Amino acid sequence: MHGEQEYVVLEVRPTGPVRRGGPQGPGNVAATVSVEALSARDAAAARNDPGVTVAPVLPLKLVEPVAQLDAGTPSGPGIAWGVEAVGALESPFSGAGAKVAVLDTGIDAKHEAFHGLAVTQRDFTGDGDGDRDGHGTHCAATIAGRDVDGYRYGVAPGVEELLVAKVLGSAGGSTDALMRAMLWALESGAHVMSMSLGLDFPGLVARWTDEGLPIEPATSRALEGYRDTIRLFGRLADVLRATGPYGRAALVVAASGNESRRTGSTPYTIGVSPPAASEGFVAVGALERASDGALRIAPFSNAGATVVAPGVRILSARAGGGFRTLSGTSMAAPHVAGVAALWVESLLASTGHVDVSLLLARLTGNSEELPGVAAADAGAGLVRAPRGLGGRADGLELRAGPGAGAGAPDWRRR
């Protein structure tokens, strides 16, 4: 119908008795995602429903690496600098018992990096399984790749199962596909989700101008969609942090983006890009290692990260075989996901279960501040692997927001 637009609709409804006069407990909700054609009036009415969050369907794009170089297969004992920097080599944990989801371009499951690793694939793009781009393969191997000839490049090589959601294909991706993938990963038991993608704002403006909108209203509409989408993913993060009908919760790790330019004649920084900018996401910035061994913020890394990790000249698996080095916050995010997997094993050993609030507290509370690196750039600092059983995080615990209220929607057309 004329004037309608496709929206992602996230409904969060109580699954148990509704408490009168008070918020619902975080474990009493279930979520569904759908795509519906709504008029501006219907979208506004939907926003007034306390159990519903809506945002226009927006295109997604890969957080593209800023540099890449093919590399030979490691031929002897050694350790990647990123694995060393996060302290994974000294940790007694390997990620055993942790289930990690990688939401990216897919995976080359036959690569030697994943030998003996259970890989469950799900395609949300229509392209089919596999990884034509290679980005997802590189990220997955950084998280859980097996040692090759005694060389360690995977942060958590003891992870026994990867859930691989292909959300970026030959035609890019979309916010509705990503949300469906995140719920699939949650239902499949993921403790940690890792993603390195962002909203394609220029592509969105171009789409609407191609449909006949002048540039100014197209940009205004895109900004509105941008804002609504940050809200949408923040609400979904509430669901992911809360145990409920899915049986467990998940920590969401996302690359902060590579749009900053901290060197050159006119240096500038850009804030964290969505979806990493959404409340409840662990936004990851990238570090580089200087010639003297000092760690510093990579020149492309966006500001406002929750934590930072190695992201420059990262050696990992290349789709089709072999290895290559890539640079970007896309490479930093899987380091954080891998360290989170180590903390999952630590929590399982010490408490018998994984409380995501406590997992986040361990991850951020044990991060290391770096000399000369501002908190505005690095957040809590460089993530560090657990060194012993049940490592503490200074008592920090973050709580998920309350569940949604009840009430049947009156905005959807039947």
**Spatial distance between the Cα atoms of 256 and 277, rounded to a whole number of angstroms:** 7
Residue holding tokens 């969401």?
Answer: 252
Torsion of CA 384, 386, 387, 392, to 10 degrees: 100
Task: Please report, for residues 230, 315, 412, the alpha-carbon distance to residue 276 in angstroms, rounded to integers and kept in the order given.
Answer: 9, 24, 29
Q: Active-site residue 176, yes or no?
A: no
* CA gap 357, 21 in Å, rounded: 26
Contacts of 106 (CB under 8 A, 6+ apart): 121, 123, 127, 129, 130, 131, 132, 133, 136, 137, 164, 166, 169
Question: Which of the following is catalytic: 260, 278, 330, 367?
Answer: 330
| Choice among 42, 104, 176, 200 that is catalytic | 104
Among 185, 278, 180, residue whose Cα is nearest residue 229: 278
- Cα-Cα end-to-end distance for the chain: 14
Estimate to the nearest angstrom the gap between the alpha carbon of 81 and the chain centroid. Answer: 22
Q: Is 188 a catalytic residue?
A: no
Catalytic residue among 42, 49, 94, 135: 135
Buried/exposed 144-175: b ≥16 CB within 10 Å, e otherwise: bbbebeebbbbbbbbbebbbbbbbbbeebbbb
How far apart are alpha carbons 107 and 228 in whole angstroms? 31
Helices 201-210 and 215-241, packing angle to 10 deg: 130
Query: Is 220 in the active site?
Result: no
Q: Which positions are annotated as active-site residues?
A: 104, 135, 330
